[in-house]
């Protein structure tokens, strides 16, 4: 079974996309309102520039394509905490910060994947299921998996980011996540050789990146190889798999084809489509494509 979807988080009290347009977005994280660049916001803003400036606490000023500085309009800390809860019982807390790379420590559109992970891991029949989070950043998906009871492996190539994820684990009153600072493709290949299996895997690869030893990652060049190896790590009896792709111009058909390559004849539930955030002032901000699958014991 295969379905095409548009997915957006709907119950997050500590986050709100207020408006977007003219290559920017106006967002509320907890009590603070931020202006950040957004390359996909090609349209006009609904609110006036004056309303944006009057509302915002801080704005990110780009110095290059990957870095910049923050300009504060109103008092706010450089670091603060927000909470994520859903009706099913998932509850976690994360520290946010004004980084030099326009990110603040969370990608809000990923909340739909946190819900999916939490729900599907609790539906697994395998006792103590193993979950692998690749390109894991500050660990929202890792927290969701651990909260659901999975033995969780969190991998990122940047040591400071893994430390940030560990802090989020402690803030969320969780423990015993396994931390891995390594190149994702190298790790996956080694796990295949070891014969390891996982009941859940999520990967959210960047368009470009580097491993801790200088390994090069380019989405278009390496994704196919990565997915072939990931497929070998999935438990044949039951598993869930999520592939995110935030790369400008990358069609959801790419993720669909990747999944069909993994499951040419197997009976699984497949979903592909777009992640987006609805703005309070109207409109939908697209934030990447996704593909996900569920293989259950009763299929």
User: What's the fold here for domain 2-7+105-295?
Assistant: Rossmann fold (3.40.50)
pLDDT at 10: 75
DSSP conformational letter for 125: -
Cβ 165 vs Cβ 154: under 8 Å: yes
The average pLDDT across 250-271 equals 85
As a whole number of angstroms, the distance between CA 100 and CA 223 comes to 27
Q: For 8-49, how does the pLDDT look when each residue is reduced to its tens digit (9 = 90+)?
A: 677 899 999 999 999 999 999 999 999 999 999 999 999 999
pLDDT at 264: 78
The average pLDDT across 206-222 equals 83
pLDDT at 212: 82
Q: For 140-171, how does the pLDDT look when each residue is reduced to its tens digit (9 = 90+)?
A: 999 999 999 999 999 999 999 999 999 999 99
pLDDT at 11: 82
Q: For 231-242, how does the pLDDT look when each residue is reduced to its tens digit (9 = 90+)?
A: 999 999 999 999
Task: Report the chain's mean pLDDT, rounded to a whole number.
Answer: 93
99-103: Cβ within 8 A, 24+ apart:
100/67, 100/68, 100/69, 101/66, 101/67, 101/68, 102/36, 102/37, 102/60, 102/62, 102/68
| CA distance readout (Å), 180 to 101, 152, 235 | 23, 11, 21
Nearest residue to 266 (alpha-carbon basis) of 237, 224, 288, 228 = 237
- Spell out the residues 6+ positions from residue 52 whose beta carbon is closer than 8 angstroms to its own: 19, 24, 26, 35, 45
As a whole number of angstroms, the distance between CA 154 and CA 28 comes to 27
Q: What is this structure's pTM?
A: 0.94
Q: For 191-203, how does the pLDDT look when each residue is reduced to its tens digit (9 = 90+)?
A: 999 999 999 999 9
- Spell out the residues 6+ positions from residue 160 whose beta carbon is closer than 8 angstroms to its own: none
3-state secondary structure of 194: helix
Domain boundaries, the chain: 2-7+105-295
pLDDT at 242: 97
């Amino acid at each position: 079974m295969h379905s095409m979807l548009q997915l957006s988080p709907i119950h997050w009290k500590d986050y709100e996309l207020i408006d977007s347009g003219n290559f920017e977005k106006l967002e509320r994280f907890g009590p603070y309102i931020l202006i950040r660049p957004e390359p996909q916001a090609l349209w006009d803003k609904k609110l006036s520039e004056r309303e944006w400036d009057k509302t915002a606490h801080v704005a990110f000023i780009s110095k290059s394509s990957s870095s910049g500085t923050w300009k504060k309009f109103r008092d706010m800390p450089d670091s603060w905490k927000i909470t994520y809860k859903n009706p099913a019982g998932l509850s976690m807390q994360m520290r946010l910060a004004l980084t030099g790379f326009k990110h603040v420590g969370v990608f809000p559109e990923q909340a739909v994947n946190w819900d999916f992970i939490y729900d599907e891991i609790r539906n697994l029949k395998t006792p103590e299921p193993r979950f692998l989070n690749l390109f894991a950043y500050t660990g929202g998906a890792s927290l969701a998996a651990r909260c659901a009871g999975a033995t969780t492996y969190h991998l990122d190539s940047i040591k400071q980011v893994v430390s940030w994820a560990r802090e989020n684990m402690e803030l969320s009153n969780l423990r015993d996540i396994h931390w891995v600072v390594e190149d994702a493709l190298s790790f996956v290949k080694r796990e295949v050789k070891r014969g390891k299996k996982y009941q859940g895997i999520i990967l959210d690869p960047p368009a470009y990146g580097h491993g801790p030893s200088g390994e090069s990652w380019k989405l278009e060049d390496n994704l196919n190889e990565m997915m072939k190896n990931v497929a070998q790590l999935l438990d044949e009896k039951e598993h869930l798999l999520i592939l995110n792709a935030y790369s400008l111009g990358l069609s959801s058909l790419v993720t669909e084809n990747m999944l069909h390559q993994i499951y040419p004849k197997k009976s699984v539930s497949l979903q592909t489509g777009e992640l987006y955030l609805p703005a309070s002032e109207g409109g939908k901000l697209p934030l990447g494509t996704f593909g996900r699958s569920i293989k259950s014991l009763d299929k």
